[in-house]
Amino acid sequence: MVDGFQIRGTTRLMGIIGDPIAQAKTPATINTIFSAGGVDIACVPIHVPVQELETVWAGLKGMPNLIGFGITLPHKQTALELCDSLDPLVKRVGAVNVVRRERDGSFRGYQFDGKGFVRGLRANSIVIETREVLLLGAGGAAVAIAFALVEAGAKSVTIANRTTEKAQVLADTVNADFGRIVAKVGPAKPTTGQLVINATSLGLNDQDALPLDPDLLRPGMTMAEVIAQPETTRLLAEAAARDVETHSGIHMIKGQVGLIADHMCDIWG
């Protein structure tokens, strides 16, 4: 933390709830942002076992100097029911990752996975506009990213998923939402110049199968990850070995933290 950071009686609190919570990197990262901006907010880890979620939630609501909290496993889905209101993106993705105390005191759920991913790409100077995207996976992360990429100007999104039906549902939802055919289902076969994104959980463990045959990757493509740990997945290493531009999942995390800090400061900074 930068020099001069100090918790005082006036300091507002932002939590991050999860079980376990010891692994959370958000407090250290976001406090550096708050501190650098001269904002009197401190982010603290709050360990919340599943059976305590409702009780702790009510308690957090009763603390007027608590301005909101990030949500990590295993509460991302169950938190939906506890929010007083939800940003539309939360319902689409089916997961909340931030709750903010609004001006009226209510707790509203937000979802920053997709926007965080886009911000991470931009921070790494990776072009999205007019780009064709191959999205691997159709789960929560893929849904968030599909919407955010189209919103950010991607030309098309091809969704490749083991269960084709799930990919089709996502493509249909995106197309319906944007009122044009921008998403479609396809195989895990990248074409020239594509931005390829692994939004599956394959790669979290080193023994996982690769979500894509790396021999299909060519220079001019970008291979991006949602997985942040390991920072360089086996797929990214294979891509780099083939002179393909790579983009670690760590950038998504950093992008998200920056967005969340801004979002909190919009009301409470």
The question of whether 76 is a catalytic residue gets the answer: yes
Cα 182 to Cα 131, 149, 178, 185, 266, distances in angstroms: 12, 11, 8, 11, 32
CA count, 13 A, side-chain hemisphere, 176 = 7
Work out how close the CB of 109 gets to its own copies at its nearest, in angstroms, rounded to a whole number.
18
- Burial (CB < 10 A; 0-12, 13-18, 19+), residue 232, is middle
Comparing CB distances to its own copies, the nearer of 16 and 79 is 16
CA distance 226 to 197: 7
The pair phi, psi for residue 37, each rounded to 5°, is -85, 0
Least separation in angstroms between residue 22's CB and its own copies is 5
Shortest Å, Cβ 97 to its own copies: 16
* DSSP per-residue letters across 21-42: -TT--HHHHHHHHHHHTT--EE
> Which residues of the shown chain bind its own copies in the complex (CB under 8 A)?
1, 3, 5-11, 13, 16, 21-28, 31, 42-49, 52, 55-66
Q: Least distance from C-beta 269 to its own copies, angstroms?
A: 17
CB of 30 to its own copies, least distance (A): 10
Tell me the two tokens of residue 147. 């919407």
Q: Which of 76, 155, 184, 254 is catalytic?
A: 76
* Nearest-approach distance from CB 44 to its own copies, in angstroms: 6
3-class DSSP state for residue 23? coil
**Contact criterion met (CB below 8 Å) for 86 and 65:** no
Strands 156-160 and 98-101: unpaired
- The closest of 223, 227, 228 to 243, measured between CA atoms, is 223
DSSP-derived 3-state class of residue 1: coil
Q: How many of the other CB atoms lie within 10 Å of CB of 208?
A: 15
- AA letter at 3: D
- Report the b/e string of 108-126 with b at 16+ CB within 10 A: bbbbbbbbbbbbbbeebeb
Active site positions, annotated:
76
